[in-house]
Structure 1
């Protein structure tokens, strides 16, 4: 009887009611007229109704459904409306006062209902859902489960094809009736595995009323002002039934696998969120993954059957691909792994392996000392990228064994050698095994009794029920299937010995990704107990605790990137590496022009530190040599150098020079600019992104002029220079009228803070002429944009065809060493002497000078200026191509390795896409890229990577940027 009911319910086609017939029913029974639009459904027919009385949903289902089932749905909706802060549809009564009508249309006996419409949108179409959205689904499911916990109604006791209690029976029947079914063998395997895993759990699973369809189709969402998704309500109570409580979460998680991008671990935030709201029993947690897999199988089989019954149902056709995707993701990992992942995600971990008594695996080496080799991210064995050499870990172990006799790796120490630059996929860096280098012939004995098996790649394993010891590098005379007792000889070592323990009868990997560590560690704990060797990695500092220490001691105005930043302790070329061995493409770091970890920098700094480091009042060759090198890069006529520690100090000193030389104090600066943090440099900085009060807090000696932004400024296009010059003339006139002496004008020759926008042609020529005519000096702030980064010009001012009076620089001059400079003419430099000596304790130190010269040498030897032109040109072209594909991309600014991607919501109004830009940067971080927003509206990606950046890295960045933009669509 049960099977017959399931078969009947599962094989009902959708009612056949066209829009005209539906409109007639609507007017006849509810007095409503309006526009009808068909909504997708598998077995029911739904129409969205727009009328002058509001928006509704007309639901039509076959009369085969018992009326009491539909009445149960209405009772649940009324109950939720009264007791829960959760928006659900309200049932609209017909003229007769009834909530449920039975009608006949073309010989079909149908049930008719009208519900109000919940605004919002489902997220079915989004390929990627963020962790917060996935957690939102889980929390919602938990709240709904709590709200329905005590709800009772006779209509809940029904036979439903989606009830997981009947999944195996339904799967078996559909497999028998559906011909030419793809993946039949896999589906048959599912039925067996699910039954085996649920058999002992079913009697322990609590029951209650459950919604059974809290999915991406049936939860309505809207973006808030920050572009974050917020839940608006839940619809479609058609699967309401009395069954296992955990069934509700299994349905939600199965639907989320469609957005998991092939990673079933993506659902874990939903499980944690449900458990936090509505704690689950251990048996429910163990049953969850089998139920998810069963749901996936029922989805694809029901869809196959329904398509054959109703081949013109476009909703079915559209969903079939998603459902097969859910099934394949669900089957991509062992049941045991996902059970371990689910349990560990809510804090349930197995007993330590050390609680069991094992005989020693290597009895002849008990008590002997091993050299434990550091292969981690901070290992001193790694330098200058040598970890990228194939087989480096094994070579280091070999060398240690040659010296010490016995060497071993550490279990659970994230391996630097397994990092993967320019990859959106988490690298598998966590070793689930230990590698030992021992004398050949070392004897191994069984630490426990079990059966011997042989596998591929020289694997030898000893099994005692689900527990197995997995060995590589062992020579044995025993045959597969041999039964060993504890202490019996297994064989001898004849190669590097790898040892792994597993608590499940599966084939675990030797390494896993950081996000999967808790699950795999539960299944493959450390073999230290069997080895009698303290070979576990030292526990890493808790990242949250470390961040709390920083916040408790480091002034909060010194911000860090990201709310939950990864801990970065190593870098190489244009990548930064976290403590789990993940490489992030660095698109932010215009300080490290040569890239991170450059061996020349280490060698030069170490050599000079070993000789001398002092201040510039002492006489040593490096300061003269470096000053000469800098002047050789400057325009003719500039003949004096000041060496300082930073761009802020350089700009501060430049302002002092302008004051001293002109005899005045008043400075012109450009709006939306940033020049530093000292009193003077901050005074001429007008960027509200860096200081929200910048425009209202400038001292009276600072005169901001209109920003010559040719993209979104007051005047646009290449011919706008005269319009922007008028703002300069206006301010010069005010200064002259007040009978105050102008000191100078400070400006980035390329508009750096706005993403590298070129100034309108002729702008600086006209401004410099007017400033000089009034006795002021012209300062070119090249801290961000100069020193070869722009590619086609070494200095930004070259693009404008001008020569400033003072040039300031820093950033890449020292590749991270505190180093800045001011270059000017002798008469300007000597004007400062009238006010006293200038001295910088560390500016121009021997170490800084030697590093500064080494930077110039490497830039020339490695052709980094040429790289900025060639790869930078390719970079800009690829970014410009995004404009045609993504409406959010408004413009691409800059050149070389100083680029700006400006994001706008409307290309005509140029409304800044501030919130979208923030979300984009967070998503890029997840994909392995560091990027941050900039500009006064924080809607610009200011792209300024190390100048060693390769074409491969550029292509990876643009591809991931395009992917992230698609996900926001």
Structure 2
């Protein structure tokens, strides 16, 4: 192969054809006129044509391109046009019936052709691509390979700079022509590595026609109604060639690295999707990563060369940065790691470790009993956040040592101590080693023959051609470079011993992230065989199988967050922790007002459980003490408490009290509100997000009034109370005209279900007056917004300057214990006695009462109300700054730790950004944040975290929210 031939076209600048010249050619040869717009390209000149006949692309390339190569492209397009599932451009013939023209423009010999235009957009500009989009690229690669498998044409036999068969030669040639190139050493090393990995496998790789450019530039997409990207078609067949089949996928994967957030493992879904359509041979899987790295090197070198020849080409300059980014990501991990990751991702395994017949590493301890310490997420050794203490794992290991001083950690057990709160990065929680507590002076012997080597931080490494044993905490008298036979003394333990095996001559980490666990565990197998110790972690339950068990036995109307939810089994403060040790910032749990895992809750509950737990009909001190505490928080005049199990029960009971006291049954409730799931509480709930049939299924005793939504309601602004009160007056008049007695009015005093929107000033004062004048009672549903969560006031109704007749409360009262309350006046409470007595099995139990008082104590001691004011104020201020930066953010509602971020597509029409909100929540979950939408249009982030939430967590949340909005949902 001639390097001159290989690089000749790469050194050619774009043809020079003005829009006016292009328009003349178009009219003369195609009989077409229209508006021309230049499209970016590396070496060809492309004009988009908007004409009365439709939209087309005029493609102009230099005459250096052999006509047979362009004819091959046309033949491929015509062939692929008949293949179901693939959309490619159609070739448009000239008025003379030709598909390809050769013309002369200002002394330039040029090839001219016209293709139809596929509407859509490339995704080059998007910094992040979802897993489904990455899978889409991979599936497209598989479909293209399958469709081109039998395609033949003389024009495919060509020398192309992008053909990976020539990558090493091209890299070496371009390096020689670019003497001042940055990172020359890294590029030279890549060339050597590519040769070492590809050459032995090249003869086994299948050949066929390949597109060679299925990239974020050359696949066009459009969003559907749910804002999900859908492939529209593949364009630009200029790199069509006969080469290795796997070349197509390598090109695609290299392009996707630009959208991988620095993580090459993000490519694996594309490889899996391609393999599912067109299964790849083992050799193709093994050579894929070297070809991806080679492609990255060719990209940066070609770009550097082209910029030297065409320094004013804006398209080239724009691409150069992300091509270097691709190279940096591609070279950030060892070849062996990505080869293992690719194989494991499609179900392939690595061959077993060649040296299975190990001699014991610790011959003097064979048969002795070790204490195996549990350092996992569910370990009973961890409580009250003690896993955050530096050195906790080592301390627990030392404490667990038996009388003989022998203890060991488990290989492959996800470590809770390695979790990282308030971090978008996946934590490195999986140990690829075993730590042992042994008596000093314990002798170690070589488990296999090899050469000794020393490294940094006290590393002692024994390696042969296929395996390395890495040790820390060993003293040896042997010199580096010494050759050992199996069973020869290595040294003796002088500190805690760390043992790690590795297949290749790599420097693996001691811990890896869960997403890299399969690959790293394939390269760093368990050292249990040479230790003679069953120290591997217990296999975890398959999360998908567990979810299937839930779906098979748990009523499906009880939904779970996310389509593919992580398994959460532990929490601490304002974070939830999955079984791999990843911490998620909890922005949903207003129930856990004190946060998760609070030691006071565990202590109080355990103490009371050890004494007594029964129902409220028995006589015990806690029920009186807790009731007194609640009345002390209520407005003057309220003197009776009911204890119940939940907010639903509290609202249900409040409605019964209104019926009993008023003698009527008709209730006013507010549209878009949610009050619970029982018959009565559901009847007054009108949120269509919670019940799509809510507006059509209300009983005749429920009279919904217009939602006083000051942001997107019928009347807007803080002075809109009189306008909304008219709806109340209208419904009261209807009830009076029917000669029915009004029972009452139920309303959240801050509009919780809509994200904490404040009611217009004076609204409740006017409505309460009207309701009471007609004999009804006023119920303030404080289940979501009360108990200090709003920061500047303890009860939501305080913001309106009113006192209700009945207060309902639950959620944070018990920090997760089933506990709710109804607070009212004596005359209202006693009206219920005519209908029978009332009791609560759980809400008024001794355990619930003690926990309820402990919650109030901790809120005071830890100044959580103050935290809601200060940190909550900072939170809202930071969210409000997003309005100026992101057009999708329409408004910020609420206060304290009850906030709503409303997303709209248009700030004038207030079109709700429902699909974008769903995508945003899914993306936040990937970044370590739990968030869900609310409101009738599901376009509001209802932000209601535990009241222990810190300023650091707030800043992390807002930073990640802004990042996702920047990713152009």
Q: Same fold (TM over 0.5)?
A: yes
Question: Does 2:379 correspond to 1:379?
Answer: yes
1:681 maps to what in 2? 681
Secondary structure of the structure 2 residue equivalent to 1:499: strand
Question: Does 2:119 correspond to 1:125?
Answer: no
Secondary structure of the structure 2 residue equivalent to 1:724: helix
Q: How does 1:768-847 map to 2 (within 5 A)?
A: 768-847=768-847
2:116 maps to what in 1? 116
* Aligned partners of 2:355 and 2:448 also within 8 Å: no
1:283 maps to what in 2? 283
Secondary structure of the structure 2 residue equivalent to 1:83: coil
Structure 2: distance between partners of 1:619 and 1:738: 46
* Aligned partners of 2:370 and 2:402 also within 8 Å: no
The CA RMSD measured in Å over matched residues stands at 0.9
Deviation at 1:85, TM superposition (A): 2.8
TM-score normalised over the length of structure 1: 0.99
* Aligned partners of 2:689 and 2:938 also within 8 Å: yes
2:148 maps to what in 1? 148
1:740 maps to what in 2? 740
1:951 maps to what in 2? 951
Structure 2: distance between partners of 1:692 and 1:618: 42
1:606 maps to what in 2? 606
2:715 maps to what in 1? 715
1:464 maps to what in 2? 464
**What per-residue deviation string (whole Å, max 9, x for no partner) do you get for residues 408-438 of structure 1?**
0000000000000000000000000000000
2:940 maps to what in 1? 940
Structure 1: distance between partners of 2:502 and 2:808: 61
Question: Does 2:562 correspond to 1:562?
Answer: yes
Structure 2: distance between partners of 1:616 and 1:873: 40
2:59 maps to what in 1? 59
**What per-residue deviation string (whole Å, max 9, x for no partner) do you get for residues 530-581 of structure 1?**
1010000000100001001111111111100001100000000000000000
Secondary structure of the structure 2 residue equivalent to 1:82: coil
Deviation at 1:40, TM superposition (A): 1.0
Secondary structure of the structure 2 residue equivalent to 1:61: strand
- Is the alpha carbon distance of 1:610 and 1:739 closer, same or farther for their aligned partners in structure 2, counting shifts above 3 Å? same
- Is the alpha carbon distance of 1:403 and 1:907 closer, same or farther for their aligned partners in structure 2, counting shifts above 3 Å? farther
Deviation at 1:349, TM superposition (A): 1.3
Structure 2: distance between partners of 1:359 and 1:658: 81
2:99 maps to what in 1? 99
Deviation at 1:179, TM superposition (A): 2.5
1:645 maps to what in 2? 645
**What per-residue deviation string (whole Å, max 9, x for no partner) do you get for residues 172-202 of structure 1?**
1110011311111111111111011111000
2:228 maps to what in 1? 228
**What per-residue deviation string (whole Å, max 9, x for no partner) do you get for residues 871-930 of structure 1?**
000000100100111111111000000000001111111111111100000000000000
**What per-residue deviation string (whole Å, max 9, x for no partner) do you get for residues 60-79 of structure 1?**
10101100000000000000
1:661 maps to what in 2? 661
Deviation at 1:2, TM superposition (A): 2.2
* Aligned partners of 1:758 and 1:893 also within 8 Å: yes
1:30 maps to what in 2? 30
* Aligned partners of 1:927 and 1:960 also within 8 Å: yes
* Aligned partners of 1:423 and 1:956 also within 8 Å: yes
* Aligned partners of 2:688 and 2:936 also within 8 Å: yes
* Aligned partners of 2:29 and 2:95 also within 8 Å: yes
Question: Does 2:44 correspond to 1:44?
Answer: yes
Structure 2: distance between partners of 1:651 and 1:354: 68
2:206 maps to what in 1? 206
Q: How does 1:344-493 map to 2 (within 5 A)?
A: 344-353=344-353, 356-401=356-401, 403=403, 405-493=405-493
Deviation at 1:51, TM superposition (A): 1.4
Question: Does 2:922 correspond to 1:922?
Answer: yes
Structure 2: distance between partners of 1:739 and 1:420: 63
1:690 maps to what in 2? 690
2:241 maps to what in 1? 241
Deviation at 1:353, TM superposition (A): 4.5
* Aligned partners of 1:354 and 1:529 also within 8 Å: no
**What per-residue deviation string (whole Å, max 9, x for no partner) do you get for residues 107-161 of structure 1?**
1111011111000000000000000000000000100000000000000000000
Structure 1: distance between partners of 2:403 and 2:906: 67
Structure 1: distance between partners of 2:16 and 2:636: 86
* Aligned partners of 2:771 and 2:778 also within 8 Å: yes
- Is the alpha carbon distance of 1:414 and 1:354 closer, same or farther for their aligned partners in structure 2, counting shifts above 3 Å? farther
* Aligned partners of 1:353 and 1:529 also within 8 Å: no
Deviation at 1:82, TM superposition (A): 2.0
1:621 maps to what in 2? 621
Q: How does 1:812-891 map to 2 (within 5 A)?
A: 812-891=812-891
Secondary structure of the structure 1 residue equivalent to 2:102: strand
Structure 1: distance between partners of 2:403 and 2:384: 24
2:4 maps to what in 1? 4
Deviation at 1:16, TM superposition (A): 1.2
Secondary structure of the structure 2 residue equivalent to 1:47: strand
The range that moved more, 563-572 or 42-51, is 42-51
Structure 1: distance between partners of 2:808 and 2:403: 54
Structure 2: distance between partners of 1:492 and 1:80: 68
Structure 1: distance between partners of 2:870 and 2:644: 32
* Aligned partners of 2:608 and 2:850 also within 8 Å: yes
**What per-residue deviation string (whole Å, max 9, x for no partner) do you get for residues 315-336 of structure 1?**
1010000100000000000000
Deviation at 1:966, TM superposition (A): 1.1
* Aligned partners of 1:590 and 1:946 also within 8 Å: yes
Q: How many residues align?
A: 969
* Aligned partners of 2:354 and 2:466 also within 8 Å: no
Deviation at 1:355, TM superposition (A): 8.0
Deviation at 1:277, TM superposition (A): 0.2
**What per-residue deviation string (whole Å, max 9, x for no partner) do you get for residues 926-953 of structure 1?**
0000000011110000000000000000
* Aligned partners of 1:91 and 1:99 also within 8 Å: yes
Secondary structure of the structure 1 residue equivalent to 2:589: coil
* Aligned partners of 2:725 and 2:766 also within 8 Å: yes
- Is the alpha carbon distance of 1:718 and 1:680 closer, same or farther for their aligned partners in structure 2, counting shifts above 3 Å? same
* Aligned partners of 2:451 and 2:484 also within 8 Å: yes
Question: Does 2:785 correspond to 1:767?
Answer: no
* Aligned partners of 1:371 and 1:404 also within 8 Å: no
Deviation at 1:403, TM superposition (A): 4.9
Structure 2: distance between partners of 1:295 and 1:40: 21
Question: Does 2:966 correspond to 1:966?
Answer: yes
Deviation at 1:741, TM superposition (A): 0.5
* Aligned partners of 1:121 and 1:221 also within 8 Å: yes
- Is the alpha carbon distance of 1:842 and 1:7 closer, same or farther for their aligned partners in structure 2, counting shifts above 3 Å? closer
Structure 1: distance between partners of 2:161 and 2:783: 67
1:134 maps to what in 2? 134
Secondary structure of the structure 1 residue equivalent to 2:81: helix
Structure 2: distance between partners of 1:883 and 1:403: 63
Structure 1: distance between partners of 2:404 and 2:594: 38
Secondary structure of the structure 2 residue equivalent to 1:231: strand
Deviation at 1:25, TM superposition (A): 1.2
Structure 1: distance between partners of 2:897 and 2:349: 48
Structure 2: distance between partners of 1:440 and 1:16: 78
The range that moved more, 791-800 or 80-89, is 80-89
Structure 2, gaps ≥5 residues long: none
* Aligned partners of 1:2 and 1:159 also within 8 Å: no
Structure 1: distance between partners of 2:496 and 2:264: 34
1:517 maps to what in 2? 517
Secondary structure of the structure 1 residue equivalent to 2:808: strand
Structure 1: distance between partners of 2:10 and 2:620: 89
* Aligned partners of 1:749 and 1:782 also within 8 Å: yes
Secondary structure of the structure 1 residue equivalent to 2:401: helix
2:292 maps to what in 1? 292
Structure 2: distance between partners of 1:162 and 1:376: 48
The range that moved more, 256-265 or 77-86, is 77-86
* Aligned partners of 2:371 and 2:402 also within 8 Å: no
Structure 2: distance between partners of 1:278 and 1:875: 50
